[in-house]
C-alpha cells in the first residue's frame, strides 16, 4: 500500500454540487452513492511525489460526466483508497482548481463527522500499489 499523508482543509465549497451532479455515475461505477461533498486533503511535500506515481499508473475507474446539454463537464478518475479503515475513493476531475498537492475524497458517508475530522488534522490515505 502506498501511504499518502496530508492535512484536512476546507475547500472551495463546490464538492457538494459536483458529487450530487455525478452521483448516479459514481454509484454505477463505484458501487455506492457518495455523501454529497468531498474531504479535501493537502498532501505533505513528501507524499506529493508518491501521489504523482499513483496518477501515472492509470489504475483507476473512469467516470464519464452526466449528459447535460450546454454544460462543460469532465471525466473523473477515481482511485480506490482507505482512510482510517473506511473504503473511499480519491477523485481527480480532468478539470480542477487544485494541483497535485491536493486530493479530494468521496465516500458513502460524511467523513468529517464519522471520523471527527477538523481542518489541520493529519490523516493517512492508503492506496493499493498497482504501479
Q: Which domain holds residue 47?
A: 2-127
- 126: three-class secondary structure by DSSP: strand
Integer Cα distance of 51 and 59 in angstroms:
12
Per-residue pLDDT of the chain (131 residues; tens, 9 = 90+): 899 999 999 987 777 888 988 999 999 999 999 999 999 999 999 999 999 999 888 789 999 988 888 878 889 999 999 999 999 999 999 877 788 999 999 999 999 999 999 999 999 999 987 64
Q: Please tell me the predicted confidence (pLDDT) of residue 97.
A: 78
- 88: three-class secondary structure by DSSP: strand
Q: Please tell me the predicted confidence (pLDDT) of residue 69.
A: 84
Q: Please tell me the predicted confidence (pLDDT) of residue 36.
A: 94
Report the CATH number at residue 107. Answer: 2.40.30.30
Q: Please tell me the predicted confidence (pLDDT) of residue 130.
A: 60
Phi then psi for residue 114, to 5 deg, are -55, -40
Q: Please tell me the predicted confidence (pLDDT) of residue 12.
A: 76
CA angle 110, 14, 2 (to 5 degrees): 60
Classify residue 24 by burial, with Cβ atoms within 10 Å: 0-12, 13-18, 19+.
exposed
- 53: three-class secondary structure by DSSP: helix
**Tally of domains within the chain:** 1
Amino acid at each position: 500500500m502506498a501511504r499518502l499523508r496530508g492535512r484536512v482543509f476546507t475547500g472551495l465549497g463546490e464538492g457538494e454540487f459536483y458529487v450530487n451532479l455525478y452521483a448516479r455515475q459514481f454509484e454505477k461505477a463505484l458501487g455506492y452513492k457518495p455523501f454529497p461533498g468531498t474531504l479535501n486533503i493537502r498532501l505533505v511535500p513528501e507524499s506529493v511525489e508518491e501521489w504523482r506515481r499513483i496518477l501515472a499508473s492509470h489504475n483507476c475507474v473512469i467516470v464519464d460526466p452526466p449528459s447535460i446539454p450546454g454544460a462543460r463537464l469532465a471525466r473523473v478518475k477515481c482511485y480506490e483508497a482507505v482512510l482510517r479503515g473506511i473504503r473511499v475513493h480519491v477523485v481527480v476531475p480532468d478539470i480542477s482548481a487544485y494541483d497535485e498537492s491536493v486530493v479530494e475524497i468521496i465516500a458513502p458517508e460524511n467523513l468529517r463527522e464519522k471520523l471527527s475530522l477538523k481542518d489541520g488534522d493529519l490523516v493517512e490515505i492508503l492506496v493499493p500499489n498497482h504501479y
